[in-house]
Every structure is written in C-alpha cells, then in structure tokens.
Amino acid sequence: MAFSAKSFPAMDTVNTIVLPHEDSEGILTRAKARVFALCAMFDPFAEGSEISRINAAAGNAPVPVSDETAALLEAGLAAGKETGGAFSILLGAVTCLWKIGYGTGRLPDLSEIRRVLPLTDPSLLSVRGTAAGQREAYLEKKGAGIDPGGIAKGFIADEAAAFLLAGGENRFFLDFGGTIICRGMKAPVRSGGRTVYYQDEISSTSGISERYFREAGQRYHHLLDPGTGRPAGQRYRSVTLRAPVRAGVTAAELDAWSTACFVRGGDAFRETLTRRGITIETQE
C-alpha cells in the first residue's frame, strides 16, 4: 500500500501526518498550515498570540478571542473540574517561575511559589459569549496566566483530524509528539523500546524524559502539581492513555487526563477512565 506523509516541528516536538495513499501533498500541506495557525493562537510565549494577549490583560479587561481559543479554554476548565484540580490550564504564574525547558530551568524559592499559587485558581478565568465570532476571555487578577501546554497538543490534534475528515480523508494517522489519532488504518509506533500498534484509537502520553533540569543533584521535571506549584512526585516516567475512537473521547481530554494521572497517580482515576473506555499504561 502506498502512503503519503508529512513531518514538521511545532509545539516543541515533531508532528507527523500519514495518509494511506499517494498524491496527498495538497491536503497534507493545508493540514500543516492549520496546525501552525492554531499554534500561533495558543502559544503563551509568542507576542501577539491570543493566549499572551489574555495574560497581558489580566486584571484589566476582557480580550476578544477566536472560537478556537474559546473552545480550548472551555475544554481546559472542564478538564480541571473533571480531574478534581489535578490538571489546570491556569498554571502560567507558576510555570513562569520554573522556566523548565530541555535541560534548562530555575529553582524558585518556596516563598515565590506561595506568592503566586493564589493566581492559579481556575475561577479567575472566565470565557464569555456564546455566538460564533463574539467570544471573550478574561483573567480577573493581574499576574494570573494561562498555560495551555497540558491540553493544547491534544486539542490541535483533534482540530487536525477534523480538518482531514472535512476534506474527505477517513483514514489517517497523526502522531503529535506522543498524542496519537489513528482512524481507518493500522499503524506501528515505537514506544519504550517496543513496537505498539494502533488502529481506530486515540492516545496521549505525559512523561518526564525530555523536559527537566538538575540542580544540586536533584532532578526537576516540567509536570507541575497544581496543588503545590512544584514538580509532581515521580511515581512514573510516563503515563499513556488509550481509547477506541468509538468511545467518543477527544485527544484533548486524554491529554489533560494523562497529565492528571501523572500528578495524582493512575489509580486515582482508573475507575472513572475505565467507565469511559480508556485504558491506562504506565512506565515506572
């Protein structure tokens, strides 16, 4: 069987889209452009992005946003409630203290963390309006900040899949740095030194093998506990959630839930996830 594929960097990872036929350059290029457009909206560190404008206006005024940004924020707030606060889209004030990248970061004082933790309360964020093209977002306190990193990749994968489906592509494979959507085909993925096959499934992995730094002999990773403002306890190296497409779960939901399972432990949510047709795989 002939395949067409496009790989490209975005969201600090490599993203791959595969279609099971040739002559797909046009729709692959348009799907990539769609991903880049969403990244430009959601990047909290890019001047002029919708998220950075909301953060800059915190405590001052609501900011008009696109329907996509409104939907992302609403998904993030919903995930925070569903996970009992183990996931939060409002950790911007804390992540700005740590500045954890790939081998880089800083260790903030506990006093700094305590000072900004009240600014991570999800109730500070409101998304207003219901009519398409007339949405607003508002952060009630200066210094509060949105960090969509724990859900944006899944949301963008969902949008890319919707774009392909709208273009008549019913069979495809997306791998956005460990967030996977596979429809109508079977695809092999290397994971943890072994080959895993996906078929009509959605998956998300949260792990700490790449984004961390060391200081005074201690390792500090980027998956922060919303309750403490510090890296979550290292129960695992990674958590992967998988669900069949028929379960009706989105990649954005799995993205947030995998983060929550890393923070609180998979057993804390196993019953809830199992009822929804979601399986949990951990690497310790």
* pLDDT tens per residue across span 139-177: 999 999 999 999 999 999 999 999 999 999 999 999 999
Q: Average pLDDT, stretch 262-282? A: 95
Which pTM does this prediction carry? 0.96
- Report the SS3 class of residue 163: helix
- Alpha-carbon span 102 to 57, nearest angstrom: 29
If one counts the domains in the chain, the total is 1
Residues 6+ apart with CB under 8 A from 215: 105, 107
DSSP state, residue 10: E
| Burial (0-12, 13-18, 19+ Cβ within 10 Å), 244 | middle
**1 pLDDT tier (thresholds 50, 70, 90):** low
Query: Which string of DSSP letters, residue by residue, matches 260-275?
Result: HHHHH-GGGTHHHHHH
Q: Which long-range contacts (CB under 8 A, 24 or more apart) does 165-169 make?
A: 167/27, 167/30, 167/31, 169/19, 169/27
> Is 35's pLDDT higher than 70?
yes
Confidence of residue 136 (pLDDT cuts 50, 70, 90): very high
Whichever domain contains 36, its CATH number is 3.10.520.10
Tell me the mean pLDDT in the region 63-91: 97
Has residue 59 got a pLDDT over 70?
yes
Whole domain around residue 262: which residue ranges?
4-283
| Radius of gyration of the CA atoms of the chain, in A | 19
Instruction: Write out the two tokens for 28.
Output: 């692959």
Rounded average pLDDT over 248-273: 96
Binned at pLDDT 50, 70 and 90, residue 102 comes out as: confident
Predicted confidence at residue 275, as pLDDT, reads: 97
